[in-house]
Chains A and B, each alone.
Chain A
Amino acid sequence: MTTLELRSGDPSDSLVTPSAALGIFRRPLATTGWKSWVFTVDHKKLGIMYGAVAMFFFLLGGCEALLIRLQLAAPDNTVLSAGLYNEMFTMHATTMVFLFVMPMAAAFANYFLPLQVGARDVAFPRMNALGFWLFLFGGIFLNSSWVLGGAPDGGWFMYSPNSSALFSPSHGVDFWVLGLQITGIASLIGAINLIVTVINMRAPGMTLMRLPVFAWMQLVVQFLLLFAIPVITVALFLLSFQRNFGAAFFDVEQGADPLLWQHLFWIFGHPEVYILILPSFGIISEVIPTFARKPLFGYKFVVFSGAAIGFVGWGVWAHHMFASGLGPVSVAVFSVSTMLIAIPTGVKICNWTLTLWGGKLWFTTAMNFAIGTIVLFTIGGLSGVTHAAAPADTQQTDTYHIVAHFHYVIVGGAVMGLFAGFYYWWPKMFGKTLSERLGTWNFWLMFIGVNLTFGPMHILGMQGQPRRMVVWPDKLTGDGFFNLGFWNRVASVGSFTIATGVLLFVINVFRTARKTEKAPLDPWDARTLEWLTTSPPKEHNFDSIPTVHALDEFFHRKYEEVDAEGGSRLVKVKTAEEVQAELNAHPDEHMHLPSPSYWPILLAFSLPIITYGVIFNLMLSVFGAVILLLAAFGWVLEPSVAGHDEYDPPADSGDSTKELASVG
Chain B
Amino acid sequence: MADTTIHAPGHGTTTGLSNNKLAMWMFLGSECLLFGGLISTYMLYRGRHEGGPGPAQVFDIPLTSVSSFVLLMSSLTMVLAVNAAKAKDDRNTKLWLTVTALLGSLFVGGQVYEFTAFYKEGLGFTTSLFSSSFFTLTGFHGVHVSIGVMMLLALVAIISRGRITGDKAEAVEMIGLYWHFVDVVWVVIFTLVYLIPA
Which chain A residues have a beta carbon within 8 Å of chain B's beta carbons?
Answer: 120-121, 123-127, 188, 191-193, 195-196, 199-202, 206, 226-231, 233-235, 237-238, 241, 245-249, 254-257, 260, 264, 592-594, 633, 635-637, 639-641
Instruction: Using known A-B contacts A594-B3, A641-B7, determine if residue A241 contacts B163 with beta carbons closer than 8 Å.
Output: no
**Residues A256 and B129 in contact, CB atoms below 8 Å apart:** yes
Instruction: Using known A-B contacts A121-B5, A200-B19, determine if residue A226 contacts B29 with beta carbons closer than 8 Å.
Output: yes
Which chain B residues have a beta carbon within 8 Å of chain A's beta carbons?
Answer: 1-7, 13-15, 17, 19, 22-23, 26-27, 29-34, 36-38, 41, 44-45, 48, 50, 125-126, 129, 132-133, 136, 154, 158, 163, 165-166
One of B6, B19, B31, B125 near A247 (C-beta < 8 A): B125
**Residues B34 and A234 in contact, CB atoms below 8 Å apart:** yes
B106 → A minimal CB distance (Å): 23
Chain A: interface secondary structure?
helix
* 19 more A-B residue pairs beyond the given contacts A230-B34, A245-B125, with a C-beta to C-beta distance below 8 A: A123-B5, A123-B23, A124-B19, A199-B22, A200-B14, A226-B26, A228-B33, A230-B31, A230-B36, A234-B34, A234-B38, A246-B125, A247-B132, A247-B136, A255-B129, A256-B129, A592-B5, A636-B158, A641-B6
Please, how many angstroms separate the alpha-carbon atoms of A191 and B26 in the complex? 9
* Chain A residue, CB-CB nearest to B126: A246
| Residues on the B chain within 8 Å of A227, using CB | 29-30, 33
Please, how many angstroms separate the alpha-carbon atoms of A193 and B22 in the complex? 10
Please name 25 pairs of A and B residues whose Cβ atoms are closer than 8 Å in the assembled complex, sorted by A: A123-B3, A123-B4, A124-B19, A191-B26, A192-B23, A192-B26, A195-B22, A199-B15, A200-B13, A200-B14, A226-B26, A227-B30, A234-B34, A241-B132, A247-B126, A247-B136, A248-B129, A249-B129, A593-B5, A635-B1, A636-B1, A639-B166, A640-B5, A640-B166, A641-B7
Please, how many angstroms separate the alpha-carbon atoms of A238 and B132 in the complex? 9
Please, how many angstroms separate the alpha-carbon atoms of A231 and B13 in the complex? 31
**Residues A195 and B26 in contact, CB atoms below 8 Å apart:** yes
* Chain B residue, CB-CB nearest to A195: B26
By Cβ-Cβ distance, the 3 closest A-B pairs, closest first, are A234-B37, A230-B34, A247-B132
A18 → B minimal CB distance (Å): 13
| Residues on the B chain within 8 Å of A125, using CB | 3, 5
**Residues A245 and B126 in contact, CB atoms below 8 Å apart:** yes
| Residues on the B chain within 8 Å of A245, using CB | 125-126
Please, how many angstroms separate the alpha-carbon atoms of A499 and B192 in the complex? 54
Please, how many angstroms separate the alpha-carbon atoms of A126 and B136 in the complex? 32
| Residues on the A chain within 8 Å of B4, using CB | 123-124, 640-641
| Residues on the A chain within 8 Å of B132, using CB | 241, 247-249
**Residues B5 and A234 in contact, CB atoms below 8 Å apart:** no
| Residues on the A chain within 8 Å of B41, using CB | 234, 238, 249, 260, 264
A319 → B minimal CB distance (Å): 20
**Residues A230 and B37 in contact, CB atoms below 8 Å apart:** yes
| Residues on the A chain within 8 Å of B6, using CB | 592, 641
One of A126, A188, A231, A641 near B37 (C-beta < 8 A): A231
**Residues B33 and A192 in contact, CB atoms below 8 Å apart:** no
| Residues on the A chain within 8 Å of B50, using CB | 255
| Residues on the A chain within 8 Å of B15, using CB | 199-200
* Chain B residue, CB-CB nearest to A119: B5
Please, how many angstroms separate the alpha-carbon atoms of A627 and B44 in the complex? 37
Please, how many angstroms separate the alpha-carbon atoms of A36 and B50 in the complex? 59
**Residues A192 and B1 in contact, CB atoms below 8 Å apart:** no
A536 → B minimal CB distance (Å): 20
Please, how many angstroms separate the alpha-carbon atoms of A552 and B105 in the complex? 55
| Residues on the A chain within 8 Å of B133, using CB | 249
**Residues A196 and B5 in contact, CB atoms below 8 Å apart:** no
B177 → A minimal CB distance (Å): 14
Please, how many angstroms separate the alpha-carbon atoms of A192 and B3 in the complex? 13
One of B1, B5, B34 near A641 (C-beta < 8 A): B5
B15 → A minimal CB distance (Å): 6
**Residues A233 and B3 in contact, CB atoms below 8 Å apart:** no
| Residues on the B chain within 8 Å of A593, using CB | 5
Please, how many angstroms separate the alpha-carbon atoms of A233 and B37 in the complex? 9
A130 → B minimal CB distance (Å): 10
A550 → B minimal CB distance (Å): 17
| Residues on the A chain within 8 Å of B32, using CB | 230
Instruction: Using known A-B contacts A234-B41, A247-B136, A257-B44, determine if residue A123 contacts B33 with beta carbons closer than 8 Å.
Output: no
Instruction: Using known A-B contacts A202-B14, A230-B31, A247-B132, determine if residue A196 contacts B3 with beta carbons closer than 8 Å.
Output: no
Instruction: Using known A-B contacts A230-B31, A248-B129, determine if residue A238 contacts B5 with beta carbons closer than 8 Å.
Output: no
**Residues A636 and B2 in contact, CB atoms below 8 Å apart:** yes
B52 → A minimal CB distance (Å): 11
| Residues on the A chain within 8 Å of B126, using CB | 245-248
Please, how many angstroms separate the alpha-carbon atoms of A259 and B163 in the complex? 51
A229 → B minimal CB distance (Å): 7
Please, how many angstroms separate the alpha-carbon atoms of A195 and B24 in the complex? 12
One of B13, B34, B158 near A637 (C-beta < 8 A): B158
Please, how many angstroms separate the alpha-carbon atoms of A636 and B1 in the complex? 6
Please, how many angstroms separate the alpha-carbon atoms of A254 and B130 in the complex? 11
| Residues on the B chain within 8 Å of A639, using CB | 165-166
| Residues on the B chain within 8 Å of A200, using CB | 13-15, 17, 19, 22
Which of B22, B41, B154 counts the most chain A CB atoms within 10 A? B41
Instruction: Using known A-B contacts A248-B126, A249-B129, determine if residue A199 contacts B14 with beta carbons closer than 8 Å.
Output: yes
| Residues on the B chain within 8 Å of A247, using CB | 125-126, 132, 136
| Residues on the A chain within 8 Å of B1, using CB | 635-636
| Residues on the B chain within 8 Å of A229, using CB | 30
**Residues A254 and B17 in contact, CB atoms below 8 Å apart:** no
**Residues A640 and B29 in contact, CB atoms below 8 Å apart:** no
One of A120, A206, A228 near B5 (C-beta < 8 A): A120
Please, how many angstroms separate the alpha-carbon atoms of A320 and B112 in the complex? 41
Please, how many angstroms separate the alpha-carbon atoms of A637 and B163 in the complex? 7
Which of B15, B26, B27, B29 counts the most chain A CB atoms within 10 A? B26
Please, how many angstroms separate the alpha-carbon atoms of A314 and B111 in the complex? 35
A177 → B minimal CB distance (Å): 15
**Residues B13 and A188 in contact, CB atoms below 8 Å apart:** no
**Residues B19 and A196 in contact, CB atoms below 8 Å apart:** yes
A219 → B minimal CB distance (Å): 12
**Residues A235 and B37 in contact, CB atoms below 8 Å apart:** yes
* Chain A residue, CB-CB nearest to B140: A237
**Residues A640 and B19 in contact, CB atoms below 8 Å apart:** no
**Residues B3 and A126 in contact, CB atoms below 8 Å apart:** yes
**Residues A636 and B5 in contact, CB atoms below 8 Å apart:** no
**Residues B125 and A196 in contact, CB atoms below 8 Å apart:** no
**Residues A127 and B22 in contact, CB atoms below 8 Å apart:** no
* Chain B residue, CB-CB nearest to A644: B7
| Residues on the A chain within 8 Å of B26, using CB | 191-192, 195-196, 226
Please, how many angstroms separate the alpha-carbon atoms of A247 and B134 in the complex? 11
B53 → A minimal CB distance (Å): 16
